Chain A
Amino acid sequence: MKCLVPLLAGWLLALSCACAQENSPDAMIRKITEEVLSVVRQDKDIQGGDTEKAIRLVEAKVLPHFDFQRMTALAMGREWRKATAEQQKRLADEFRTLLVRTYSNALTGYKDEAVSYKQTRMQPNDTEATVRSEIAQPGGKPIRLDYSVEKQPDGWKVYDVIVTGVSLVTNYRDTFAQEVRAHGVDGLIKMLSDKNRQLEAGKK
């Protein structure tokens, strides 16, 4: 029974390699994750909680693969349409800064846990997919980390990150909607930029 396990693992690996073509969303997520984590594994500053350094890493490696316009639209729901093109750009810029910091903060908590990827089920012509991965937790159930991706002219772009079922984007929806209703779109822009400035000043 036990000797079957490595055999099975080898077979699964071969299978996943055959399917994970270079342009698949699986390959993209895997490549970014491995690139980022290999840096974190060797960087004592990031491991020690240096968020600013983690932010620079995320900006260089992760940011180009995210669609912040769509993320912001998703976070705002129907309120997004109340914003002018100019306001939408400012909203997306501020929300990007906040999400990059959140993501970077999470990275500083990484302690060399193993990450595994599940084969994404999709048809060749699909333009949307969910890439699923898991982070092993010693002594506990693995943390599920899913990415919603959309095919765009210049490749697959992430528009949502979902941790054990919690979308880090739509989690803001009621807060954002409430702010827009109370103080308008400019109120939300101000709320986001105030938050970013406060975090920037705290530098933690």
Chain B
Amino acid sequence: MKRPGVKRCAAALATCAAMAGPAGCVAADNPGDPFEGFNRVMFSVNEGIDVVVKPVAQGYDAIVPGPVRTGIGNFFGNIADVWTAVNNLLQGKITEGASDTARVLVNSTMGIVGLIDVASHLGLEKHTEDFGQTLGKWGVGEGPYLYWPIVGPSNVRDTIGFAADMSADPIQYIHDVRVRNSLDGVRLIDARASLLPTDKVIEAAAFDKYSYIRNAYFQMRRDAVYDGDPPPLEDDEDDGEENEK
């Protein structure tokens, strides 16, 4: 596993050196991404890993029937709801936290260990909160952008958040290694499969996939921290229209 990764790194570095021109790896001067060189190497490592993961996800997507997919999504979603509840409470959102707790109780019992999302049918809306968002809510800045293999786009704040998320993940505490690895594996493949429709869109839309994903991640996380209602950025005000008036 390690060797091809190293090889890819080297290949990526070589490419970097070869095209240190306009389209090269160090072209951007994005102030939010001071480690762009490192990140781009990690990005290509991840693209390498995806050569293996994507076909598995495609197979999974083709073979697993819709209702089973939904059940799997619900099952992991129910586990995630526990941590969402904790984070909503940490952010002082008592109503949401209580609603998420009720979701877990309802779905774990009436929803048969989370396989059926009964709570959503009862009007208990699903939220997704992680510790990175909680830190953001507490006023912790994002810090530089970071790209990790498997995990994908992140930043310093969300990397710390991710470590907390993992330490709070009940699946990581299952003693039976085979069960634990199977659950981790299915969760990863299911998550990758749900991104498949996005792949095609990004491939067509992006001039540079790396920076397209970086910008999208920045927007997405800002939106998540502010629960879908972020204040406008100073930059957004300048929409270039003034000269027409």
Contact = CB atoms under 8 A, between A and B. Distances in A.
Size category, A interface? 35 or more
Interface in A72-88: 73-74, 76-81
Nearest to B75: A139
A81 B69 contact: no
Given A106-B197, A138-B73, A199-B204, A164 B28 contact: no
A10 to B, nearest CB: 15
Contacts of B123: 5
Interface in B218-245: 219-220, 222-224, 228, 230, 235-236, 238-243
A144 to B, nearest CB: 7
A77 B238 contact: yes
Interface string B22-38: 10000111100000000
Interface of A: 5, 49, 70, 73-74, 76-81, 98, 101-102, 105-106, 108-109, 137-141, 144, 164-168, 170-175, 178, 182-183, 191, 195, 199, 204
B192 interface: no
A181 B69 CA distance: 47
A76 B240 contact: yes
B212 interface: yes
A73 B201 contact: no
A191 B240 contact: no
A91 B21 CA distance: 24
A170 B238 contact: no
Interface of B: 22, 27-30, 66, 69-74, 77, 117, 122-123, 126-128, 194, 197, 200-201, 204-205, 207-208, 211-212, 215-216, 219-220, 222-224, 228, 230, 235-236, 238-243
Given A73-B241, A141-B126, A171 B215 contact: yes
Contacts of B205: 98, 101-102, 105, 168
Contact of B222 (A70, A101, A165, A199): A165
Contact of A102 (B66, B122, B201): B201
B135 to A, nearest CB: 18
A175 B215 CA distance: 10
B208 A102 contact: no
Given A139-B72, A171-B212, A191 B207 contact: yes
Contact of A164 (B201, B207, B215, B223): B223
A139 B223 contact: no
29 contacts: A70-B239, A73-B239, A74-B240, A77-B235, A77-B239, A78-B240, A80-B241, A81-B240, A102-B201, A105-B201, A109-B200, A109-B201, A137-B73, A138-B66, A139-B74, A141-B77, A164-B223, A165-B220, A165-B224, A165-B228, A166-B220, A171-B212, A174-B211, A174-B215, A175-B207, A175-B215, A182-B22, A199-B204, A204-B200
Nearest to A183: B22
Contacts of B240: 73-74, 76-81
Contacts of A105: 200-201, 204-205
Contacts of A81: 240, 242-243
A191 B23 CA distance: 11
